[in-house]
Amino acid sequence: MGGAILNMITVAFGSIIGLLVGNRLSQKIQESVVTGLGLVTMFVGISNAGKSGNIIIPVLSIAIGVIIGELLDIQTKLERFGSWLQSKFSSPQAPSTEDEAGASTDSLDSRTRFITGFVTASLVFCIGPLTFVGSLQDGMGLAVGFQQIAIKSVLDLFASMAFAASFGVGVTFSVVTILVVQGGLSLLGSVAGNVMTTPMINEMTGVGGIMLMGLSLILLDLKKPRMANFLPALILAPLIVAVAGALHINIYPL
């Protein structure tokens, strides 16, 4: 859990700095920063996707996983949680203009910005090889696991600064997701970390890479896929590897 706590601290610290600096940056600069993060996220996603040893596994994992995610409507639940956080912790907004239907347009924009920051940052910070491998190894008590999370924490420090400057306070609350995901993986590592084999981790990383590519489309304002609904694919990828191994099926052709 030490790695998860460190990551939470760095994200919180980076978010605070981003909030303090964000108001001093023009809209054009904020948009350019987000575009830059989108390009970097795309590069990391492509790199991670290449970890898969058999593209059929990510294809099956994502196809089945997104169906499960859509049926469970994970994206909406995560957005509702973000909306709840915004209503509980975000400071009241000044009176705003109303549209023809009488809705407060400024408050709607503030709500959307908060939820977008929370959901996007949560997914970016919790998807990737350092998250899974580092958290599992950290839970197993291996020094290399904490070192990997420490590296990730430094990267997330700067990413959270940029996200918070552009999306606002919603990014700060991604520490809740980090606690649940990375903390949960650390606990899993302490109990059954040896269950995860290298091929299982590689396929999970490959699926995570494809998901990061999807997130980059959001940051680049090209498309807005419901990426949270793809999360079950991260569980299915190593499960497919495990089932294939149990059935003695060779999924990695020579």
Q: Where in the chain are the domains?
A: 2-86+106-246
pLDDT at 165: 86
Instruction: For residue 104, give the 3-state DSSP assignment.
Output: strand
pLDDT digits (tens, 9 = 90+) for 139-196: 877 676 687 788 788 888 888 888 888 888 889 999 988 998 888 888 887 775 567 7
Torsion of CA 39, 45, 48, 51, to 10 degrees: -120
Query: Measured between alpha carbons, how far apart are the two ends of the chain, in Å?
Result: 39
pLDDT digits (tens, 9 = 90+) for 19-36: 998 777 777 887 887 888
pLDDT digits (tens, 9 = 90+) for 96-151: 444 444 444 444 477 788 888 888 888 888 876 667 777 877 887 767 668 778 87
- The values of phi and psi at residue 98, to 5°, are -120, 145
Report yes or no: 176 and 11 within 8 Å, Cβ to Cβ.
no
CA quadruple 49, 55, 59, 65: dihedral sign: negative
Residue 63 has pLDDT above 90, yes or no: yes
Residue 94 has pLDDT above 50, yes or no: no
pTM of the model: 0.74
- Name the burial class of residue 5, with classes exposed (0-12), middle (13-18) and buried (19+) by CB atoms within 10 angstroms of its CB: middle
Compute the C-alpha angle 118/58/225, nearest 5°.
35
| 32-56 average pLDDT score | 86
pLDDT digits (tens, 9 = 90+) for 207-252: 888 988 988 898 888 988 888 899 899 889 989 999 998 998 888 8
Nearest C-alpha neighbor of 124 from the set 164, 90, 66, 72: 164
pLDDT at 129: 63
More confident residue, 38 or 236: 236
Torsion of CA 219, 223, 224, 230, to 10 degrees: -100
Please state at what angle helix 2-22 crosses helix 143-167, rounded to 10 degrees. Answer: 20
Q: Which residues contact 108 (CB under 8 A, 6 or more apart)?
A: none
pLDDT band at 58 (very low <50, low <70, confident <90, very high): very high
CA quadruple 203, 181, 127, 109: dihedral sign: positive
